[in-house]
Amino acid sequence: MKYFPLLFSILIFASCAKKSAEPKEQVNYESEAKSPIERGKELFDGTGNCFACHKEDQKIIAPSLQEIAKIYKQNHGDMVKFLKGNQDPIVDPSQYETMKTNFAITRNMSDDELQSLEAYIMSFSK
């Protein structure tokens, strides 16, 4: 029992003096960040529910992504303004009333999200 305080002191000293020789793992958050096109695809397939009407290369219900990208590129259109409901349609005006119902979704998106969605769609331009 009389050696207990000595042992206790040695244990405390040893535990305080020990430093980790292993370097801590560094996380590179930039490599985990997604490109605007990747974020746009997530919005297109998720929150935006755009995939329900728009397909990559064929018109089912609404114009294809390739057609949208081509027309916006040719006309230097502002897709973000359109998705906010602040620009007239330039791709298929006959489908405008159908598309207008989706403005409830796109108006709630941030500018960054809308720009990512635009980047994804414009990635289909040839």
Please state the domain extents for the chain.
32-122
76: left (phi over 0), alpha (psi -120 to 50) or beta: left
Is residue 117 pLDDT above 60, yes or no?
Answer: yes
Q: How many Å apart are CA 55 and CA 57, to the nearest integer?
A: 6
Is residue 57 pLDDT above 90, yes or no?
Answer: yes
The class (CATH top level) of 32-122 is: mainly alpha
Mean pLDDT of the chain: 84
- pTM greater than 0.85 (yes/no): no
- pLDDT for the residue numbered 15: 54
pLDDT bin (cut points 50, 70, 90) of residue 60 is confident
Is residue 69 pLDDT above 50, yes or no?
Answer: yes
Q: How many Å apart are CA 122 and CA 28, to the nearest integer?
A: 29
| First-to-last C-alpha distance (Å) of the chain | 85
Contact (Cβ atoms closer than 8 angstroms) between residue 116 and residue 36: yes
Q: What is the mean pLDDT of residues 93-110?
A: 92
